[in-house]
């Protein structure tokens, strides 16, 4: 299965609880951190929820 690279580029300050949960589920903790996640519907849903905080690349 393919993977997605997600990089957090904006602060999570001011985000609501569901967005904070999505970042935690993806494994993102601080600005500039990059994680690789499997391309699943659940991961895409979490990325969509925080699309204004992360940059996503397909790999």
pLDDT tens-digit readout, 41-57: 999 999 999 999 999 99
Secondary structure element (H or E) that encloses residue 45, with its range: helix 41-49
CATH fold, domain 3-58, is Ribosomal Protein L30; Chain: A, (3.30.1390)
Banded model confidence at residue 10, pLDDT cuts 50, 70, 90: very high
- As a whole-number percent, the residues of the chain with pLDDT over 90 amount to 97
pLDDT at 59 over 90: no
pLDDT at 25 over 90: yes
pLDDT at 28 over 90: yes
Answer yes or no: are the C-beta atoms of 23 and 12 closer than 8 Å.
yes
The tokens for 8 are 């957090």
How many other C-beta atoms are found inside a 10 Å radius of the C-beta of residue 25? 15
């Amino acid at each position: 299965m393919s993977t997605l690279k997600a990089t957090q580029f904006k602060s999570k300050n001011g985000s609501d609880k569901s967005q904070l949960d999505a970042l935690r589920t993806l494994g993102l903790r601080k600005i500039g951190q990059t994680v690789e996640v499997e391309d699943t519907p659940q991961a895409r849903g979490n990325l969509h929820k925080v699309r204004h905080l992360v940059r996503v690349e397909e790999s």
